[in-house]
Amino acid sequence: MWDFIAALGLVFAIEGILFAAMPHMAKDALRSAAETPPDRMRIIGLGSAILGVILVWLARGL
């Protein structure tokens, strides 16, 4: 459970840094995401989740 909370905190920290450092690019990215069809978003989300699980698995296995 503590690993999940640490990972969630890391996500918030990285997103916060990106929004603070490049607010215009963040707005453009959000606008682009809003215009992306749901099916494509679903595929991108599934691919990202799979990649994330693989990266965590590899990192924890080393």
Instruction: Give the DSSP per-residue string, 39-56.
Output: HHHHHHHHHHHHHHHHHH
Q: How far is CA 22 from CA 10, 33, 34, 47, in A?
A: 18, 17, 19, 25
Spatial distance between the Cα atoms of 62 and 12, rounded to a whole number of angstroms:
25
Per-residue pLDDT, 2: 85
Separation of alpha carbons 50 and 58, rounded Å: 12
Instruction: Count CB atoms within 10 A of the CB of residue 26.
Output: 14
Residues of the chain with pLDDT under 70: none
pLDDT of residue 26: 92
- Report pLDDT for 30: 93
pLDDT at 60: 85
Predicted model pTM: 0.69
